[in-house]
Every structure is written in C-alpha cells, then in structure tokens.
Amino acid sequence: MSEEHKRYLSKLKRKRILIKLVQIGILILLFGLWELFAHVKIIDPFLTSSPSRVVQSISNLYESGMLFRHLGATLLETVISFLLSTVIGTLIAIILWWNETVRRISEPYIIVLNALPKIALGPLIIIWAGAGRNAIIVMALLICVIITIISMLTGFMSIDKGKMQLMKSMKATKLQTLCKLILPGNIPTLISVLKINVGLSWVGTIMGEYLVSREGIGYLLVYGSQIFRLDLVMASTIMLCILATAMYLGVSLVEKLIHKYY
C-alpha cells in the first residue's frame, strides 16, 4: 500500500469518526439544553416536559406493568399490517399483471383509492370492523396496500421486453414467466416497497389507535394530551422513534440478506 493511499484511507476514517461524533454531540446537546432550560424555567416543563421527567414517566409505566403491554400492542398491530399489506398487495399486483382486462377494469378504482385520504374511512372501518384491534389493522392495511399494488405492478410491467421475448421464444408458460422472470426480477422493487411500508404501517397503526384503542403508543399519546400530561406524550414519542427505527433497521437487515443470495 502506498503512502498516499494510507493517507487517503486515514482521511476517510477521520471524516467518518467526525461525522459520528457530531451526530451524537447534537443529540446530547439537544437533550442537555432541553433539561437545562426546563430546570432553570426558561421553558415551562409543564408544556415541554424534560428528559428527566420523560425517564421518570417511562419508569412509572414500567413499574405499573403497563409499558410492555402498550409497546407490544402497537408493535403487534404494526407488524401484522406490514406483513399483510405486503403479501396482499403483491398478490393483487400479480393478478393484475396476469390479466390485462382485469388490470384495465380496476385502473380507475385504484386511482381513486390511492387519491383518497384513508383516514376518512376511519368511522366506517370502526363500524364495520368493530372498535378494537381489527379496525387498527384494517386502517394500516388500507394505507399500505394500495401503494404496494401500484409499486409492484409498475415493477412487473417494466421488465425488459427483450427478456419477455426470450421467455416467449423458449415457449415458457405464463406461470413460468412469472416465477422465473417477473418475480425474481422484481426483488429490488419488493425491497423498496418494504421500506415504504415500514414507515406507512406505523402511520396507519398510530392513526388507528388515535381513533379506537385502549392500549398502545397511539392511545398513550391521545390519553396523555387529554389529561395534559406532556411527560407521557414526550415519552411515547421518543419510544415511538426508537421502535420505528428498530423496525427500519430490521428491514435493512433483510435487504442485506436478500442481496447476499440474489
């Protein structure tokens, strides 16, 4: 290795460390100022809470035995709607790819469903699915499934024409074309859909919990604001940040695994 290359590598490494340090520094600074300002009453801790109060609030929840019940409820709803929407959306996209007539018939309906703000269906969903976990899952599912269908179908339809001709010249059946070309050729599409859905399923779940729930992070947020306990609201928000990020990292891990084998 030449001296110049060594210098280049160490420069890269220094930059990487610097960026990490600044990232962590900003976090510490934000929380530190937040705590300090609340402590010396520059800001009103009744309205803004403070890191120490947030920690207190979380440990209260833990001691009352409710912490994991709330986190678990939200996580379960999110994961179920995430998986269901990906599977159902992909299946519907396959049906639409398979049959051109069905695809063209369904086109305006998909456009309308995509344009519609799904939250508007909240009251209907509650009446039809009951005020409980089912309604929350249906809500999150509706938010994710349409975009899944659209993204997957776009991926299916944009497979290289030359590859389709190759399959046709080999006398491949439609099922063979699907299994050997369309699906494996759209693994990158699937990964980007997973990344979109991991965000949207959280949106759906929290919105659903706002509407109907008796437990979960969304419930804590609404409850906390109703009784004006901002400690609880802030604590819930921070826990939500951590959970959502963890799930995103989980998807990134799946992506890496897929890349290894594909």
Partner 1 sequence: MDALLEVRDLSFIYHSPDAETEAVKRVSFEVGREEFVAIVGPSGCGKTTILSLIAGILEPSSGEIFLKGKPWEEMSGLTAFMPQRDQLFEWRNIVRNVLLGLEIMHAKTPENITYARSLLQKYGLAEFEKKRPSELSGGMRQRAALIRTLVTSPELLLLDEPFSALDFQTRLSVCDDVYDIIRAEKKTVVFVTHDIAEAISMADRIIVLTERPAEIKSIYRIDLNKTLSPLKRRELGFGDYFKKIWADLEVKQCRKNIKDISVN
Binding residues (CB under 8 A) for partner 1: these are: 160, 162-163, 165-172, 176, 180-181, 184-185, 187, 262
Q: Do 136 and 77 meet the contact criterion of CB atoms below 8 Å apart? A: yes
Residue 123 or residue 184: which is nearer to partner 1 going by CB? 184
> What does the alpha-carbon distance between residue 219 and residue 202 come to, in Å, rounded to a whole number?
14
Specify the 3-state DSSP secondary structure of 114.
Answer: helix
Residue 5 or residue 171: which is nearer to partner 1 going by CB? 171
Smallest gap, in angstroms, from Cβ of residue 227 to partner 1? Answer: 54
Residue 130 or residue 184: which is nearer to partner 1 going by CB? 184
Smallest gap, in angstroms, from Cβ of residue 167 to partner 1? Answer: 7
Smallest gap, in angstroms, from Cβ of residue 184 to partner 1? Answer: 5
Smallest gap, in angstroms, from Cβ of residue 68 to partner 1? Answer: 41
SS3 annotation, 89-105: HHHHHHHHHHCHHHHHH
Residue 183 or residue 220: which is nearer to partner 1 going by CB? 183
**b/e code 166-190 from CB counts within 10 Å (16+ = b):** ebeeeebeeeebbeebbbeebeebb
